[in-house]
């Protein structure tokens, strides 16, 4: 039986019921820095399947909304976080057995942000929290569905973008110290960088960072407070440092 429609673009005698049905979801990976470590925003599922397990915020796309609208809504409903303007599509995941309920294709989104703010679980999420990315990558925190793979892909994207697209400043505030900036590279790349070499690389060419003439608040250990900088225009062209190779002197072996 042919499905009738008033849409003039529909080909004659076209029957959509001849094709298998599947659902579309959106999943949102939010990465941020906390205590010099890279964290991901996760929710604990309050409903089946995988009830009680940690997962990426997300859910089913409604028929009348775009993918971007669905990602914004799900993120806000499940975590209370509003970072819609920073979301970019990461990729699509459609293995037929990724969801035990039915054939579900998900569109993953990614955002690297400076501060998540107050996280409040809502909708079908029983809890929402920032979890160290290392716990997910090492399997210490097990995720529902194929969300561990999505997080791995998101981290790998950020690792590449850190060098090619200069997104390091997305993780710091409007003003920052060079130590705070270096901590971003170390957390994302999982490598210790020599502080002196990092400073020379960032300051070797003008346009990467601009001195503000101000200094950070004094630390608990005393000493002269670090100088504060703001991002220059050069970050649009890449980054002043490169991923350290095994024989790179910038890498400090543990």
Query: Tell me, what's the pLDDT at 23?
Result: 94
For the CA atoms of 90, 161, 183, 135, what is the dihedral angle to 10 degrees?
30
Query: Tell me, what's the pLDDT at 221?
Result: 67
- Provide the angle, in degrees to the nearest 10, between the axes of the packed helices 178-189 and 147-164: 130
Which are the catalytic amino acids? Answer: 127
Query: Tell me, what's the pLDDT at 94?
Result: 96
Query: Tell me, what's the pLDDT at 251?
Result: 42
Query: Tell me, what's the pLDDT at 174?
Result: 94
Reference 37, options 149, 167, 136; nearest CA is 136
Mark residue 139 as left, alpha or beta (left: phi above 0; alpha: psi -120 to 50; beta: remaining).
left
Q: Per-residue confidence of the chain (254 residues) as pLDDT tens digits?
A: 445 556 788 888 888 788 888 899 999 999 999 999 999 999 999 999 999 999 999 999 999 999 999 999 999 888 888 876 689 999 999 999 999 999 999 999 999 999 887 787 777 788 999 999 999 999 999 999 999 999 999 999 999 999 998 899 999 999 999 999 999 999 999 999 999 999 999 999 999 999 999 999 876 666 788 999 999 999 988 999 998 876 554 443 33
Query: Tell me, what's the pLDDT at 107?
Result: 98
Whether the full predicted model's pTM is greater than 0.85, yes or no, is yes
Domains and CATH numbers, the chain: 16-147 (3.90.79.10), 163-237 (1.10.10.10)
């Amino acid at each position: 039986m042919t499905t009738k429609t008033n849409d003039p673009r529909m080909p004659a005698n076209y029957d959509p019921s001849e094709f298998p049905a599947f659902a579309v979801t959106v999943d949102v990976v939010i990465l941020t820095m906390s205590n010099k470590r890279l964290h991901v925003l996760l929710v604990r599922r309050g409903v089946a399947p995988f009830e009680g397990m940690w997962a990426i915020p997300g859910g089913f796309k409604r028929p009348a909304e775009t993918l971007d609208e669905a990602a914004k809504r799900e993120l806000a409903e499940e975590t209370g976080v509003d970072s819609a303007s920073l979301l970019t599509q990461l990729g699509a995941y459609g293995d037929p057995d990724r969801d035990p309920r039915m054939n579900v294709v998900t569109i993953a989104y990614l955002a690297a942000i400076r501060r998540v703010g107050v996280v409040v679980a809502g909708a079908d999420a029983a809890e929402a929290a920032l979890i160290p990315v290392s716990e997910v990558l090492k399997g210490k925190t097990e995720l529902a569905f194929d969300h561990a793979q999505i997080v791995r892909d998101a981290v790998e994207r950020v690792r590449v973008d850190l060098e090619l697209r200069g997104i390091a400043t997305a993780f710091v505030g409007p003003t920052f110290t060079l130590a705070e900036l270096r901590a971003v590279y170390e957390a994302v790349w999982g490598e210790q960088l020599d502080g002196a070499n990092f400073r020379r690389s960032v300051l070797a060419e003008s346009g990467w960072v601009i001195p503000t003439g101000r200094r950070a608040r004094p630390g608990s250990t005393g000493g002269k407070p670090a100088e504060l900088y703001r991002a220059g225009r050069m970050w649009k062209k890449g980054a002043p440092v490169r991923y350290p190779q095994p024989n790179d002197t910038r890498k400090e072996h543990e």
